Chains A and B, each alone.
Chain A
Amino acid sequence: TQLLEQSPQFLSIQEGENLTVYCNSSSVFSSLQWYRQEPGEGPVLLVTVVTGGEVKKLKRLTFQFGDARKDSSLHITAAQPGDTGLYLCAGAGNYGQNFVFGPGTRLSVLP
């Protein structure tokens, strides 16, 4: 069974600070996606990474896929209160038909 772990579980920071959250597994994934979910809503896709070592930037967000395609990180520069939410990573296995989701990192950015 493929499992994804995310750390930290909770993170509370001040506006303007930088942060990194992690998504780790002992399994290899063919691709990995990051989502942000706000209370009462469904997850919204932020990025998909496919190639080992790949780095993608989305404004103040930088996503990296590990060389071995077992882990990923999300770095946010100069966090803003609007970044508050639950950040979920999800991996697609090499043979599976479904995505495996991590438990999420709950980020709170205080003004």
Chain B
Amino acid sequence: NAGVMQNPRHLVRRRGQEARLRCSPMKGHSHVYWYRQLPEEGLKFMVYLQKENIIDESGMPKERFSAEFPKEGPSILRIQQVVRGDSAAYFCASSPQGIGGNQPQHFGDGTRLSIL
């Protein structure tokens, strides 16, 4: 009965490198959401994907950030040329249907990204 799995749990990168964060949704869930959380703050929506499609990317910076959810395999959040300000906890959530159905989101335990 695996929940949402995120890896790695901790990721350290130097400025200018690339960071790839992975999220495997719960079995049967085809909707994935990525959020970013800074210390002592709530979660900020980044992007909502359904298998092979980006539904809403309004919260994701236009440059350096990209996300995908391929037909096979986990969802990937990629950050290119990382800067210190990218340091945060990144959470992934999944649901069996989209938000319009008031479906609960199930969260993973996050990836903590630290930029040196």
Contacts and interface: CB of A to CB of B under 8 A. Distances in A.
Interface of A: 6, 30-31, 33, 35, 40-45, 48, 50, 88, 90, 92, 96-104, 106
24 contacts: A6-B42, A30-B102, A33-B104, A40-B109, A41-B109, A42-B91, A42-B109, A42-B110, A43-B107, A45-B105, A92-B99, A92-B100, A92-B102, A96-B56, A96-B99, A97-B55, A97-B56, A97-B99, A97-B100, A99-B45, A99-B105, A100-B45, A101-B44, A102-B42
B99 A44 contact: no
Contacts of A92: 99-100, 102
A104 B43 CA distance: 9
User: Could you say which interface size class chain B belongs to?
Assistant: 20 to 34
